[in-house]
Structure 1
Amino acid sequence: MAEATMADVLVIGGGVAGVGAGAFIAADARVVVLEREAAIGYHATSRSAAVYIRNYGNATLRALNASAEPFLTEPEGVSDRSLLSPRGQLMIAREDETSALDAYLDGASGIARIAPEDAVALFPILRREGLAAAAHEPAASDIDVDRLLQGLARLLRVRGGLIVTGAAVGALARSGGAWRAETRQGVFEAPVVVNAAGAWADTVAALAGLRPVGLTPYRRSAAILPAPDGFNVSRWPLIVSAAETFYAKPEAGRLMVSPADEDAVEPHDAWPDEMVLAEGLHRYEQAVTTPVTRVERSWAGLRTFAPDRTPVVGFSAAAEGFFWLAGQGGYGVQTAPALSRLAADLVAGRAAALPETVVRALDPARLAAPGPGRAA
């Protein structure tokens, strides 16, 4: 039997969730992060829209967003300056989308309705005809995702942690009080394993003999378009339809446009569906006054959701030392600081900094269901 590398905590998954959790946990423990790809952040993290929107998501997610904001603004140990830069979010609604806008504004803070004419002033190519309502969230910000991820990886290493790439886990079992993970890069053992495997998190659970919690990866596509002739787009806000049929934001002097697609797929290295992308670009084109003339490049990523669209964070009730950190959906980057801190608190056995109502809402026990294998 191969000699194992020993640790206190193994983290499976090297996206921003896994690297972030590893960095925070490493303040108190020896941590090894196992990443299946050749580099960290390869899948969802590097394909994110990279925007912090405090009001994005349900009540639990909004609480996580608010908790993460101070760290994103003052990322001690990760960067010497804020990871956020001003962007703003403009939500627009046709007459048939006004109820969706009303629902988004319910319980939201820092966002206000504005006149359609003011919306056009913020996003000058917006088509005024058919625009029934709009709302503006000035504090929405771009996130420097690469600086966040690399800063967390650096912090993890400074604290004595190890990141192993090309280390897809092929077997995972508990024996003698420790989890044993077998990879092409060697064997690793620790009393605690954190399942931060993103779209593959239910697969990792199955390796451990646990029932899946019902995570579903959904494809989300995006394209880069040239800036409209005669316009400097750099200070325009992110624009999103209230029914989320498309969104667009400035990106390095161009416009990134997404059809906001959400097609259920198996875990894989995602690529865009050309027809889905074309349909989304058409919806965007109907909302603006300038035609789409060229796509410079396109890509897709996976956003993985639990059935209730709330992250799954906490120890399994069925397997000692198995910790879930999954189901972040489209909120993974902006909630990473809050969930990393929570993971560190729970793994260390100390009281969480987050409100108890939020911690309970994240608990994997809520998703337990009958079936073969042990419960989540």
Structure 2
Amino acid sequence: MSTYDIAVVGAGIAGASLAAELAPHARVLVLEAEDRPGYHSTGRSAAFWEECYGGPEIVPLTLASGPYLRRGGFLAERGALYIGRDGDTAELDGFMDRFGPTGVTIERVDRAGLAARLPGVRPDWTGAIWEPACADIDVAGLHAHYLKAMVAHGAELVVRAQVAALSREGDLWRIETGRGEQFLARTVVNAAGAWADQLAEIAGARALGIQPLRRTVVQLRVDPAPSADLPLVLDIAGSFYFKPESGRLWLSPHDEEPSPPCDAAPEELAVAEAIDRLQHVVDWRIEAVEHKWAGLRSFAPDRCPVYGFDPEVEGFFWFAGQGGYGIQTSPAAARLARQLLLGHPRDAMTEGLDPRLYDPARFG
């Protein structure tokens, strides 16, 4: 039976990025329940890096990750518009007040500036906030980069390896999969995404209330076809967002429906709501619904991610609850988690981050 320093459970963007950080410093095992890594949330992302996404508490992680993503060629300039109607002035002002001090780049634009960036916008949409730094993320490329890096530094990836049992034997964990495979590791990392609370309970740790929420996306063919330089467009009230993708439009009703951990599927009502909301924004004609899908975004009760050792169960490390921003924050999140796990000093990427915000002990 092989013994590892660290066993990472989950090979989505969370597990892969952390394993890539850990592998140069430790013997690492990565266990993935599915046939291939990234099958669930990572493979279903709307694929954007947006400085304000997730709220002011997430901004430091996003900004710290930006240089790594740009240097790696994983970002392509897009820009984002948060749009509002006549009655949304207070929401637009509040957005500027909330995010202005965080270091993001945002500016108010009037109706003319909105119409110039969003052709066909209906007259009742009169103001917006422009975020020029927003970019598309090459999610598949980034995930592959992390997988390649972790393997290159000696990490071992085992797929179809759902964890069925965890037990302590001295200072080691005995890990048993549903297929009967067994491994030993000094530390277990919970990067199980929507299954994070379930894995914690298998380990004898207290569930933290990490809730998977379903998010629906639909791909539309519209007339006129969206231009390649159309920005990401988000409702300031949080009821939709859309962006161009290869001549088509990716649209979401920004839904957050509680779900058990599962292979999420879109519901027709969510698709219909998304289309109805789009028709109240622009005068484009919808020609076809070409594709639709759903993914699970998992949040802790305070909607901040959870990074750190469990306060009660020895050798059990949380790297979960990353919501819909786990991809755009993955470089800084993984770097910080490696430093916390191995006791390494902070560096230029993480020096501005406060790990107390993410400590699982905050839930008491």
Give the shorter-chain TM-score range: over 0.9
Q: How does 1:1-376 map to 2 (within 5 A)?
A: 4-75=1-72, 82-106=73-97, 107-108=99-100, 109-127=104-122, 129-183=123-177, 184=179, 186-229=181-224, 231-353=225-347, 354-355=350-351, 358-368=354-364
Task: Report the residue type matching 1:40 in the other structure.
Answer: P
Paired residues, what number?
Answer: 357
RMSD: 1.4
User: Match of 2:25, SS?
Assistant: coil
Partners of 2:9 and 2:190 within 8 A in 1: yes
Are the structure 2 counterparts of residues 223 and 350 from structure 1 closer, same or farther at C-alpha, using a change threshold of 3 Å?
same
User: Match of 2:354, SS?
Assistant: helix
Are the structure 2 counterparts of residues 163 and 96 from structure 1 closer, same or farther at C-alpha, using a change threshold of 3 Å?
farther
User: Match of 1:301, SS?
Assistant: strand
User: Match of 2:204, SS?
Assistant: coil
Aligned to 1:372: none
Q: For residues 346 and 159 of structure 2, what CA distance do their matches in structure 1 show?
A: 30
TM-score if structure 1 supplies the norm length? 0.92
- Structure 1: runs of 5 or more not aligned: 76-81, 369-376
Partners of 1:25 and 1:347 within 8 A in 2: no
Q: For residues 33 and 115 of structure 2, what CA distance do their matches in structure 1 show?
A: 45
CA displacement at 1:105 relative to structure 2: 2.0
Q: For residues 182 and 39 of structure 1, what CA distance do their matches in structure 2 show?
A: 19
CA displacement at 1:125 relative to structure 2: 2.3
User: Match of 1:294, SS?
Assistant: strand
Partners of 1:25 and 1:343 within 8 A in 2: no
TM-score if structure 2 supplies the norm length? 0.95
Q: For residues 162 and 320 of structure 2, what CA distance do their matches in structure 1 show?
A: 17
Are the structure 2 counterparts of residues 198 and 24 from structure 1 closer, same or farther at C-alpha, using a change threshold of 3 Å?
same
Question: What CA deviation, in whole Å up to 9, does each residue of 1:213-246 have, x standing for no partner?
Answer: 11111000010011423x4521110101001101
Q: For residues 289 and 332 of structure 2, what CA distance do their matches in structure 1 show?
A: 36
Are the structure 2 counterparts of residues 187 and 98 from structure 1 closer, same or farther at C-alpha, using a change threshold of 3 Å?
farther
Question: What CA deviation, in whole Å up to 9, does each residue of 1:113-166 have, x standing for no partner?
Answer: 111122111121221x11131111111000000010001100001100011111
- Structure 2: runs of 5 or more not aligned: none
Partners of 2:8 and 2:28 within 8 A in 1: yes
